[in-house]
Amino acid sequence: MIEVEAYRLFAEKAALHRPITAVDAPDAWYLKRGLVAEALGVLVGCELVAARRIGKLLLLSTRGADGTDGPVLGLRFGMSGRLVVDGAAGVAELRHSSNRALASYDRFGLAFADGGHLRVRDPRRLGGVELDPPETALGHDAAAVTVGQLAKALSTSKAPLKARLMDQARLAGVGNLIADEVLWRAGLAPARPAGGLSSAELRRLHRHLRATVAQLGSRGGSHMGDLMAERRPGGVCPRDGHALIRATVGGRTTWWCPAHQT
């Protein structure tokens, strides 16, 4: 979500109010929820008028030449996708992807009347394109969630805490790296039942969630956490020097400190 917020700001600056003259969708697999390339022709003649974000989903609102609202273009980037406008990327480098500017990595594109282009460049094909994505299927955005909303997302659940935090239908935006960072900062074990937090633990989790998202945004990426360098065999806790444990929680590789995460 940190990178997608960067793409939202980039799109606002570089891609709005430019009439669309063509759509390029060379990778049918990249089109989601039954979308086909021919249906994207509805975007021709429109312009992008607003950029929003819910969790990891970038939402680009469109408007037709006659002033009527067009479809909402939904873009997902996974760990390897980047938004590129007029040859410049919204995030210069990604840690888990090739950063080469190869045309074969371009999965989707818009051509503008002024000769410019918007492209989604994704070497690993982990993202996707949708029209009018179901926004209500997503939980509250992690950057703005209140303590009450977080409590509702976790309450009564016996699922592992980390898995529940990463459930996009409950809380939108938390990925694997952010989840480990937040739980490490909050001193909470990733595998404990999500619904078993005390009121004090819930408030602490909320505080660290909001602070971590804001701080990683200012640092420039979800991979910029304090725990990141120690997520490796032999890694130790930056807080207390205890050996970190590698586990699988919610189907994802997890690093945590058994000394202070309880």
3-class secondary-structure state, position 41? helix
What is the reported pLDDT for 93? 81
What is the reported pLDDT for 151? 97
Residues of the chain with pLDDT under 50: none
What is the reported pLDDT for 101? 83
What is the reported pLDDT for 97? 80
Contacts of 120 (CB under 8 A, 6+ apart): 30, 75, 77, 81, 82, 83, 84, 106, 107, 108, 109, 127, 129
What is the reported pLDDT for 193? 97
Amino acid letter, 91: V
The rounded distance, in Å, linking the Cα atoms of 252 and 49 is 37
What is the reported pLDDT for 146? 98
pTM (predicted TM-score): 0.93
pLDDT in tens, 188-206: 999 999 999 999 999 999 9
